[in-house]
Each structure stands twice: as C-alpha cells, then as structure tokens.
C-alpha cells in the first residue's frame, strides 16, 4: 500500500506544483497529510489478491458531481491550504489499487497507468516511480501522457490518438465497471 500511496502523492504533488499557487512548504505539508489520510482510509480496504475489490472506495475522484474529494479536502484542512489553490483539473480520477495506480483526466478520456508494482519489488521502486511520474506529469496538463511500462512482460496495449497505454491484468474487469457511478460503491 505504501508504494501505491507514494505514487499518488507524488503525482498530485507534481500537479499542485504546476498549478503554481502554493509555496513549497505548504505543498510538502499538504502531501504529508494526504499520505496519512489515504493510509487511514485504505486500511481494511486493501485486497492484493483481488485488486479491483474496493476500487470505488479507494478512488480519488473530482468531477461535476463531486467537486472536492474528501481526502484531498481533509489534507487541505489539516495543512492550512485552500482547496482551490491545489489548481487541480475539474475532472480527475485516480484508482489506487494493489499493484497499480491509474489516472483519467476528464470523464470521457481513456485512463492510463501511472505506476505498477509486483510483489517481488522493494522500496527502491518508489524511486523508479518518481522518475516515471515526472514524465507523466510533465505531459498531464497538455492532455497527453507518457508510457512508463516498458518493463512489463507481454502487456496488452490499448491504442488511442494520444499515445499507447498498457492495460493492467485486471483491466478487463475495470473497463466493464467504468460506467458505474461511485454512488453505488461496491460492497465488502
């Protein structure tokens, strides 16, 4: 869970930095509080053997219906940051699953993988995630993304007009579930 949360926090930190509305010390405090909030939320909802279970619960989502994600808002309150100063997209979805973190910018755009992890990886991989996410976030606001999954074995590649994205092993289930709304969060 630590690696996946680190990937989310790093990604969001890069987006907030790009927004240019907050000083570095405020950003650092915000992401520290966010990491703690996500760890607390995910306890009891983390299923490495079935990554799609609890997916709606672990989702970080901002859209027209839910303009502020509760964990982002909590981290803002605890760090003295105004939510609007995060300068995040009006439509952003992050799926934080065991072994993978995926993102979708906009409600109708395809999702892409930010980071993947295998069971035999250790904490050194957080540094690899950092490097990979730097490239992804540099393209984020332009609406494109980078493909950071070159080391995966026999991935399925999904082609679109922007770039190629690697499909996670459980993506078929996610694609079937994507039209769901979070109002009917899955049962545990």
* pLDDT the model gives residue 39: 95
* pLDDT the model gives residue 107: 87
* Structural domains of the chain, ranges and CATH numbers in brackets: 2-180 (3.90.640.90)
Q: Above 50 in pLDDT, residue 171?
A: no
* pLDDT the model gives residue 118: 84
pLDDT tens digits, 59-115 = 999 999 999 999 999 999 999 999 999 999 999 999 999 999 999 999 899 999 999
pTM for the model stands at 0.67
* pLDDT the model gives residue 58: 96
Nearest CA-CA partner of 70 in 53, 87, 80, 58: 58
């Amino acid at each position: 869970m630590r690696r996946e949360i680190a990937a989310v926090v790093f990604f969001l930190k890069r987006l907030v930095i790009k927004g240019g509305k907050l000083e570095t010390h405020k950003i650092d405090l915000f992401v520290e509080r966010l990491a703690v909030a996500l760890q607390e939320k995910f306890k009891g909802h983390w299923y490495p053997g079935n990554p799609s279970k609890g997916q709606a619960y672990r989702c970080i989502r901002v859209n027209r219906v839910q303009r502020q994600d509760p964990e982002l808002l909590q981290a803002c309150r605890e760090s003295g940051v105004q939510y609007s100063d995060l300068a995040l997209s009006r439509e952003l979805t992050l799926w934080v699953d065991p072994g993978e973190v995926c993102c979708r910018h906009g409600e109708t755009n395809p999702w892409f993988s930010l980071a993947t992890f295998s069971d035999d990886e250790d904490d050194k991989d957080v540094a690899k995630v950092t490097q990979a996410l730097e490239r992804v976030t540099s393209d984020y606001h332009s609406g494109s993304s980078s493909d950071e999954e070159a080391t995966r074995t026999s991935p399925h590649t999904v082609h679109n007009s922007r770039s190629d994205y690697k499909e996670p092993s459980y993506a078929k289930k996610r694609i079937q579930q994507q039209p769901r709304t979070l109002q009917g969060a899955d049962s545990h």
